[in-house]
Structures are given as structure tokens and as C-alpha cells.
């Protein structure tokens, strides 16, 4: 004898459980066209089987979403420039002395140390100045307007 409880897969792809004695209509779309996957004696076993049957679909969907997201990030050049931007800011932070003063020569040293050739320290500082991060003190020194740690 087969079990009293049935795990069924609807034509819409949704798996659901039902009592074998009743007509099986999909709990998602209400369709009566479904196939029996397995039978259970116990409704608790069935409910586990139902969630397992529906799980792979959701997981594969989630993975697909993640991969799409990752692809987008790879394609999106702003991601790279974002990384680069934080590297630049990090370099400028590191080149700042204890008085909070940043100079082109100190940034030059820092960039050399980090192996960054482009953009130049002048360009980097100029960019930060334009964005309102750095404020020029005199010809060759800048201080931070906003301390982003
Ligand atoms: Zn359905």
C-alpha cells in the first residue's frame, strides 16, 4: 500500500503535499494537473519533503541572481574606479602626517611604496580638492576637510 500523503509536482513547477484521498490541486496555482512524486505515511515527513522539493528551485534562482549581480559588478567599471578611489584615499590618508598635513611629496612617496603610478599625486590631490575632501593650505600642503576613517 502506498502512503496516505502524496508529494506532488504541479505543471507550474511547484511541489506541494496533499492527502491522497483528496483531489490534488496545486497550492500555488490551483491547477489539477500534477504528478505524484512520492508517498508518505506521515504528514510531517511530507511537509519536509515538500519544502525540500521546492528548495532547489529557490536556491538555483538565488544563485542565478547572485551570478547576475556579480556579472554586473564585473562589467560595471564604476566598481573598479570605486576600488581605485578608496585606494587613492587610503594612500592620501597614509601620506598624511601627524599634524594632518598632506603634501605632494609625501603622497608621492606613499604612491611609490604602494606601487601606484596612475594617477599622479597632483591629480589625486586635485581630485580630492575638487570633491571637497582636501583643503589647500598653501602651495604644497593640504589638510583634510572631512576625516573619513
Ligand atoms: Zn501549480
With respect to residue 28, please indicate whether it lies within any of the assigned structural domains.
Answer: yes
Same domain, 84 and 140: yes
DSSP state of 136: E
Ligand 1 centre distance from Cα of residue 139 (Å) = 72
Give per-residue pLDDT as tens, 33-65.
999 999 999 888 898 888 888 876 556 666 667
More confident residue, 124 or 70: 124
Phi-psi region of 13 (alpha: psi -120 to 50; beta: other; left: phi over 0): left
**Residue 76 pLDDT level (bands cut at 50, 70, 90):** very low
CATH number of the domain bearing residue 117: 1.10.10.10
With respect to residue 97, please indicate whether it lies within any of the assigned structural domains.
Answer: yes
Same domain, 100 and 139: yes
Q: Write out the residue range of the structural domain in which residue 109 sits.
A: 80-144
With respect to residue 71, please indicate whether it lies within any of the assigned structural domains.
Answer: no
Q: Please count the CA atoms within 13 angstroms of the CA of 83 that sit on its side-chain side.
A: 6
CA distance 57 to 91: 45
Residues around ion ligand 1, judged by CB within 5 A, are 10, 12, 14, 26, 28-29, 31
* Total structural domains within the chain: 2
Give per-residue pLDDT as tens, 99-147.
899 999 999 999 999 888 888 999 999 988 888 889 999 878 999 986 5
Is-above-0.85 flag for pTM? no
Ligand 1 centre distance from Cα of residue 8 (Å) = 10
Ligand 1 centre distance from Cα of residue 50 (Å) = 13
Amino acid at each position: 500500500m502506498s502512503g496516505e500523503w502524496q508529494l506532488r509536482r504541479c505543471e507550474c513547477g511547484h511541489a506541494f503535499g496533499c492527502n491522497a484521498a483528496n483531489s490534488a490541486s496545486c497550492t500555488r496555482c490551483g491547477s489539477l494537473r500534477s504528478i505524484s512524486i512520492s508517498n508518505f505515511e506521515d504528514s510531517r515527513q511530507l511537509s519536509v519533503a515538500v519544502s525540500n522539493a521546492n528548495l532547489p528551485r529557490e536556491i538555483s534562482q538565488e544563485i542565478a541572481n547572485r551570478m547576475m549581480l556579480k556579472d554586473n559588478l564585473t562589467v560595471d567599471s564604476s566598481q573598479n574606479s570605486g576600488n581605485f578611489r578608496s585606494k587613492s584615499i587610503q594612500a592620501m590618508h597614509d601620506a598624511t602626517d601627524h599634524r594632518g598635513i598632506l603634501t605632494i611629496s609625501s603622497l608621492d612617496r606613499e604612491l611609490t611604496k604602494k606601487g601606484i603610478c596612475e594617477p599622479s599625486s597632483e591629480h589625486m590631490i586635485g581630485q580630492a580638492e575638487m570633491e571637497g575632501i582636501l583643503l589647500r593650505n598653501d602651495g604644497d600642503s593640504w589638510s583634510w576637510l572631512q576625516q573619513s576613517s
